[in-house]
Amino acid sequence: MAEMKKNDAITAQEVDFAQWYTDVCRKAELMDYSSIKGFIIYRPYGYAIWEQIQHYLDHKFKETGHENVYMPMLISSSLFQKEKDHVEGFAPECAIVTKGGSNELEDELIIRPTSETLFCEHYAKIVSSYRDLPKKYNQWCSVVRWEKTTRPFLRGSEFLWQEGHTIHETEVEARKEVLDMLEIYNRMGRDLLAIPFATGQKTDKEKFAGAKDTFTIEALMPDGKALQSGTTHDFGTGFAEAFGIKFLGRDNALHPVHQTSWGVSTRLLGAIIMVHGDDNGLVLPPKVAPIQVVIIPIQMQKEGVLQKARELENNLKSLGLRVKLDDSDRSPGWKFSEYEMKGIPLRIELGPRDLTQNLVTIAKRNSGEKLQVSLDELSDKVTMLLETIHGEMYNKALQYLLDHTTDAHSYEEFKEILENKGGYVKMMWCGDQSCEDKIKQETNATSRCMPFNQEPIGDVCPICGKKATKVVLFAKAY
């Protein structure tokens, strides 16, 4: 493996992981701060990654029969208050509009923190028969939640996301929807982001405000903390009862619809940065990288170099790859460092000596490996390398996840693992919220999910000693 040199522009991960994270966000030009706390600017390079995610998911959503819509940005307070649990969960985080067009408003308006209430109001108007079901809608937008502590992409007062909202005739269909969408998210991790997730159901304490059941994908960061990366919610008929979304069923009687919602956000950018990044900056998974290959000509002024570089650029672009040729007058050293910081998966170096040998040098960002490749087989090799890199990045992240998922059979062991190793701690649980509360209070760890694989590792809840009913993954979390 080639030497990996530390980039001085950013703090080393070992020195201060949190500072490394913000350094990368800024130096890789993913974002910038605005003058309002918690409201960030998504710069072109950061937004382009989000566009790749949007493109992937939007296609999957449409393929599975979902349609995009756009609901208003503002919610009237009376509408917002219709579902009790929901308003309790979100009210403390709301941004509120009290003036419009130079006048005080009679009724305060809430900037959407999430749009369940808007979808409910609309669904109640347009659904009357089982023939109108299902409705499977999605919207891409930003939402506002007033946060005290904010970090780029991970927790912001405004963030970009998609929110799916569906209504169904039966409980079974709604449950299938939330599990199907969770699987779409899970596969996005595997196939697009090269990020493996722990998946499962949230406990009642951790579920969404207003949901009957919440399911989650949870990524694991290199500092041992979990990052909730997407959730799907089965609302049962709770919202439907509160908002009067009823339909005449096949039995000619009125029934409430069975409802779901699900979303992922720009928080996924935070996951990509942390899971894959290193002390030289960002390391982007090839499928989500806005630029997959950067071509850097060496001794550009020498005859044939730039011409060959442009030829390579065009050849690779014609394969559908995202390619950048940097023919600016910066030094090759500056360029190497810049595109390492930006995490571009493959760098192709091309100089006069290479030309005479009909060769180029390819450097893999994820491993630092360098290869010499004949120009004749460059196209095949680049395509193959991008696939290989994706696999290597996924496997590395998966190995870390597996290595940092540890069984605990006692509370002592639980605390010891959490303290010394971090990651997920798998433990039996009785099902009482008081045990979760105790764990959170004493260790700052929370239940991340009850994994789908519920093979027991014991009989009792190590916290209270009562009969255990569930296997739970606990972790400290973002």
Binding site for a copy of itself (CB under 8 A): 32, 34-36, 39-44, 47-48, 50-51, 67-74, 76, 79, 91-102, 108-109, 111, 118, 121-122, 125-126, 137, 141-142, 144, 146-148, 157-158, 160
CB of 144 to a copy of itself, least distance (A): 7
Tokens representing 57 are 């998911």
Nearer to a copy of itself, 142 or 469 (CB): 142
Cα gap 119→136, rounded to integer Å: 11
Residue pair 128/245 in contact by the 8 Å Cβ criterion: no
The phi and psi torsions of 474 (rounded to 5 degrees) equal -100, 155
Whole-number minimum distance, CB 183 to a copy of itself, in Å?
23
Determine contact, residues 218/401, Cβ cutoff 8 Å: no
Residue 74 or 398: the one with the smaller Cβ distance to a copy of itself is 74
State both tokens at 184: 């779409």
Give min distance, CB of 140 to a copy of itself, in A: 9
86 three-class SS: helix
Cβ closest to a copy of itself, residue 137 vs residue 394: 137
Q: In what order do the strands lie in the sheet with 323-325?
A: 323-325, 293-297, 346-350, 359-364, 370-374
**Distance (Å, whole) CA 115 – CA 322:** 35
Would you call 256 helix, strand, or coil by DSSP? Answer: strand
Residue type, 398: L
CA distance 256 to 238: 9
CA distance 299 to 431: 67
Which CB, 44 or 456, lies closer to a copy of itself? 44
Q: Smallest gap, in angstroms, from Cβ of residue 123 to a copy of itself?
A: 11
- Nearest approach, Cβ of 399 to a copy of itself (angstroms)? 34
Q: Indicate the DSSP class of residue 151.
A: B
**Shortest Cβ 95–a copy of itself spacing (Å):** 5
| Whole-number Å distance between alpha carbons of 279 and 340 | 10
Residue 196 CB, nearest approach to a copy of itself (Å): 28
Whichever of 71 and 323 has its CB closer to a copy of itself, that residue is: 71
In the complex with a copy of itself, the residue whose CB is nearer, 41 or 384, is 41
Residue 356 to residues 350, 374, 375, Cα–Cα distance (Å): 11, 11, 11
Nearer to a copy of itself, 58 or 279 (CB): 58
